Structure 1
Amino acid sequence: MPVAIVFVKLRTRDFDMTKLKAARIEQRMTQVDLAFHSRVAPTDISKAENGMARLYPRQAERLARVLGLAPTELLDPAEQTVEARLT
């Protein structure tokens, strides 16, 4: 039986920071709390949420993990790049 494996190529411009902020607030976390648990600098989180800077894919992955999300849940659907490989 063929199995589909989906790879998502993450780029810095692909992340929707409004989703990040909404998830953080929903979990009643401050930027400092999120920074502590994700090991991403609080200034990076603040700048990203305010549209002043972009996160690196690895940073977004860490933040998503702490918030209990899949990194793909933080992607902006308008700019999502998906590569699929069938095995």
Structure 2
Amino acid sequence: MTLARAHGAVIVGVEALVVEIEAFLAQGLPGISIIGLADTAVGEARDRVRAAIHNCQLPWPSERRITVGLSPASIHKKGASLDL
């Protein structure tokens, strides 16, 4: 079980709001789940994260499940700024 945290920001109007990004790696069926993005953005973000791991020449964790959470949920997050 591995947990990593980082912070990002989204612009809302003229204000920058902090978003906490948590990535959790656990035993389970291989795959990635992203929680806290709009439904249409999740598929695109999942592909960009997978491509970033591949382009960094890191192995995709086999037999592991990646769960990424973006909080707070009340902030509308759009674009690719939080993917990496």
TM-score of the alignment, normalized to the shorter chain, above 0.5: no
What TM-score do the two structures reach when normalised by structure 2? 0.34
Bigger radius of gyration, 1 or 2? 1
**Structure with the higher strand share, 1 or 2:** 2
